[in-house]
Amino acid sequence: MNAAPDNPNRLSLPGLLRLVVGRDLMLAMRRRADVLTTLIFFVMVVSLFPLGVGPETDMLRKMAAGVVWVAALLASMLSLGRMFLADYLDGTLEQMLLAPQSLSVLVLGKILAHWMLSGLPLVLMAPVLGLQFDMSAQALWVLIASLLLGTPVLSMIGAVGAALTLGLRGGGVLVSLLVLPLCIPVLIFGTGAVEAVSSGMSVSPHLLLLGALLVLASAFTPWVTALALRISME
Amino acid sequence: MPWFAWLSAILFAYGLYIGFFVAPTDVQQSEAYRIIFIHVPASILSMFVYLIMAGYAAVGLIFNTRLSSMMASALAPTGALFAFISLWTGALWGKPMWGTWWVWDARLTSELILLFLYLGFIALHASIDDPRRADRASALLAIIGSVNVPIIYFSVKWWNTLHQGATIKFTGTSMHAAMQQAMFTVLVACWMYAIAMALARVRSIILERERNTQWVADLPEVKQ
């Protein structure tokens, strides 16, 4: 950690969080291609669907939310492998485990940075893709809200999988096998919210459940990820 | 261990005999309902085995006992088998009853997730070379996944969908006595099968891991 102050004990938890997030963001900015690949993958997967199933507007409008959500899920899987790998290879992760500060907070910082780099761009890109699928304005807003609530959960659950498979052969495929089943509830409520708009029902239950998942995940997953990292680094 | 296996075989034969030949034909569902004699016990077992597996995994993770982690990894394939049988027989039952092999109903979906969780557990365990690390990493996964089991169990209550609710309740049942008898016999048979298989598998795992020790070398089967 090149930016660590001289006396680590004086570092407050929010300060620590800011430090980790800032470091990861800076590292990512040095290699912009990695971030862009994820985004381009997302756009391409979504654009492939109209080519595959045909350009009927009615059908596209119906499946838009599902397609965007599944593509977001796959795109966030794609970048999971990088979450801890670079730090693991150059020894930074070992120093983080030894650090006097709480590992959970460090992990939370890494999750936040991962979401800013792979989740947030997808959320910002989603409305444009939604327009390609001829979604209504209201459905677009709900899609953005559901993605905003849901993509952090994907990053958090993904962090557990990434930590468990750290440094394994074929970790990339394995992490999808572990993480995808656990992400199904997020997918169901995320697409359910958009579907509720088009069928004229109330949106709030779906969004509230997504919010509940977010709260639950942010309480437990940093801690579980820290445990998994300790197991992987033994 | 052979006791459990024999008991399982006898009970399977007896239970399926009652189920297929003694139990009366259902008024609405005719003969096809007899699939439940396999479907229901397999589904119950697939959930129970997961809970037991997660319990063993948790004990192994917390108290660092080697045998409980081995039991967890020995139970996983049996549980996966039951989850698969449950989905398979469910599909066979769904075709004549609901007119479709598969619906995206809450209970079916969550049972499918259970199968994926078993497969993920097995895959994670298989891909880590160091057995101790494999035990601990997959134990963590098993514990996270156990969130799913109550969701499967209560899914027919929470989401009122195509899959029917529980018929057998603690307060009494609306089932014919012979049907009940058949189902419980098969259920016990499945239990015995799961115990026999897990014990057989854990025996192999112990031998495999302890292959460099003196007591394994002293075994009569190894010596000859």
B105, two tokens: 């109903």
pLDDT of residue A152: 92
> Who among A160, A174, A231 is closest to B144 (CB)?
A160
**Is B137's Cβ below 8 Å from some Cβ in A?**
yes
State chain B's mean pLDDT as an integer: 78
- Concatenating the DSSP letter of every residue in B119-142 gives HHHHHHHHH-SSHHHHHHHHHHHH
Report the gap between the CA of A32 and the closest CA in chain B (Å).
32
Answer whether residue B86 shows pLDDT above 60. yes
pLDDT tens-place string over residues B207-220: 888 888 887 777 77
Question: Closest Cα to residue B49, out of B120, B105, B2, B114?
Answer: B114
Domain-wise residue ranges, chain B: 2-223
CB pair distance less than 8 Å for B127 and A165:
yes
**Is B126's Cβ below 8 Å from some Cβ in A?**
no
CB pair distance less than 8 Å for A168 and B127:
yes
pLDDT tens-place string over residues A218-232: 988 999 999 888 888
Domain-wise residue ranges, chain A: 12-232
**Is B3's Cβ below 8 Å from some Cβ in A?**
no
pLDDT tens-place string over residues B169-208: 444 555 666 777 777 788 888 888 888 888 888 888 888 8
For residue A12, count CB atoms less than 10 angstroms from its CB and return exposed for 0-12, middle for 13-18, buried for 19 or more: exposed
Answer whether residue A135 shows pLDDT above 70. yes
Bridge partners (DSSP) listed for residue B172: B169
DSSP state of B172: E
Answer whether residue A1 shows pLDDT above 50. no
pLDDT of residue A192: 84
- Find which of A69-78, A83-92, B188-197 is predicted with most confidence, using mean pLDDT: A69-78
> Amino acid identity of B168?
I
Answer whether residue B1 shows pLDDT above 70. no
Cβ contacts of A101 within 8 Å, gap of 6 or more: A8, A11, A13, A16
Residue B146: closest C-alpha in chain A: A182
Q: What's the Cα-to-Cα distance from A2 to each of A23, A27, A92, B13, B43, rounded to whole Å?
A: 9, 11, 10, 69, 54
Map tokens 């498979």 to a residue. Answer: A165
Mean pLDDT value of segment A18-34: 85
Mean pLDDT value of segment A51-67: 82
pLDDT tens-place string over residues B29-39: 556 667 777 88
Is the CB of residue B52 less than 8 Å from the CB of residue B195? Answer: no
DSSP-derived 3-state class of residue A55: coil
Q: What is the 3-state secondary structure (H, E, C) of B75-108?
A: HHHHHHHHHHHHHHHHHHHHHHHHCCCCCCCHHH
Report the percent of chain B where pLDDT is more than 70.
79
pLDDT band at A153 (very low <50, low <70, confident <90, very high): very high
Q: What's the Cα-to-Cα distance from A101 to each of A17, A97, A217, B114, B122, rounded to whole Å?
A: 11, 9, 21, 37, 34
A32, two tokens: 């912009």
Residue scoring higher pLDDT (A11 or A69): A69
pLDDT of residue B203: 85
State chain A's mean pLDDT as an integer: 84
Q: What's the Cα-to-Cα distance from B49 to each of A6, A179, B76, B118, rounded to whole Å?
A: 52, 21, 8, 10
DSSP-derived 3-state class of residue B32: helix
Q: Given its phi and psi angles, is residue A167 left (phi above 0), alpha (psi -120 to 50 degrees) or beta?
A: left
ipTM of the complex: 0.71
Lowest mean pLDDT among A64-68, B40-44, B56-60, B98-102: B98-102
Give the DSSP H or E segment for B173. strand B172-173
Mean pLDDT value of segment A195-212: 84
**Is A229's Cβ below 8 Å from some Cβ in B?**
no
Stated length of chain A: 234
> Who among A177, A180, A182 is closest to B123 (CB)?
A177
> Who among A168, A170, A178 is closest to B141 (CB)?
A178
Residue ranges of the alpha helices (H) in A79-136?
82-89, 92-98, 103-114, 120-132
Residue scoring higher pLDDT (A91 or A10): A91
